[in-house]
Structure 1
Amino acid sequence: MSNLMITSFLTTVAKSIRNLNPSDVREMAEREVNIGLTALTEDGLNRMWDFLAPERLSERKKNELVRFVHPMGPRLPGMPEPPAHLDIELWEEGLSKPPQAFTFYKKDPERTVREIISKREELGLPLARQFVVFRKAVSEKVVNSVSQENALFSIATSLPNIVPSVLALPFAVGEFASDTAFITANQLRMAFLLAGANDRPIGYREQKAQVASVIAGAFGWRSLARQLISKLPFGAG
């Protein structure tokens, strides 16, 4: 493939990712989410805590989460006052809760996760970063959303469903590159979002291997990765 073709593709990709700043994803993911817990008994509070901080977590991670989880009732001795604003209120099943609160279903905790993610979508990324119990649901939502966007874009632009072969590519690249650039940028966005949801470093430099794989995959040639990755805006975040 000629340098001119590579440059043309990168120019189109650059236009597509001009507004794709990993710093924005990082800022969303690092938002602190405070959760208030209300139960009938201390045992009920403990079950809700185990839901948010499962046994497999390290003690260090559990100690970090203590800052964001606030027992509202019953009040426990020595517990600090909760913050004035709670992002999410979680109430034990069977209690009469306020409209904005969510129910903790002790026999079906995944239902609790689904309801929170569905109604508070804007908190999905930081919830997943802080609380491992939300990671699977949020990651699946990110993948499904981006996949649907790519499929709709492909249909709308009549993108071929098979990447041109090595012989056909030089004749198709002019038409193919712009469509591929959009999907490539969307795949990069997905990589940033998944990193944020799973508490991993976010950014072009931090995810260099993933970025290279996404771009190489757009052409179907992994050997292009090193040439292409050097031209991406690593200073953008």
Structure 2
Amino acid sequence: MTTSLQGRVVLVTGANGGLGTAFVAQALERGAAKVYAAARTPRSWDDSRIHPLTLDLTVPADDARAAAAAPDVDLLINNAAVAPVGDLISGTEEALRSIFETNFFGTLRLTHAFTPVLAANGGGTVLNILSSAAWVSMPTGYAASKAALWSATNGLRAILRPQGTRVIGLLVGMIDTPMSAVWNVPKVTPDSVVAQAYDAVADGTIEVIADDQTRELKSRLNTPAEQFYPWVDEQIAALMAA
């Protein structure tokens, strides 16, 4: 195993979820000195290196409190997200705004709050957990929010480069976590996704494509729209029927 996090201090948002828990566990396995496990309602952990941290991305004041409570962070993992059951882009404006408030605005606010912290700790790294839904026409607020965050991730990379902060985007399809339990489709394990993410932290990669489905999707992005979107629609129809 690559000990890519030796001595580093990590903050993981959405730490109580399936993917977040794997990020916390593997960080310690790879030598992290400390992990802040952030969640709306922090849980107890059985390792003194794990520090529970209260963080609600929809509460702007929480960002500054988190940055003040974790001034030694040099790896920020923006993992927290919501994907409500029944989410459709044709839903109410209120429902769509609630999704964007966590998945997009909340993530950006937290990154801005930690920008000076990362700078003070040598630049550090931001890892944004995105989704292959950012590249397809999934008719959901979740997909739209991840598309916005994908664009923002690439913009943040340019903005934060001068202070020495590296920004990584991770794109993946279905992961075997409680969030995707309603979908009866092939899924990858949280551990495999996290392992690829931490390998990228070690080797300088700025974009992680974490499953075969997403790799195929990216290979088709230069296809003419008249061919690409009918193919995408077929994939979505199969997914929605599952």
TM-score of the pair, normalised by structure 1:
0.28
Higher strand share: 2
Using CA pairs below 8 Å that are at least 6 residues apart, which structure has the higher relative contact order? 1
TM-score of the pair, normalised by structure 2:
0.27
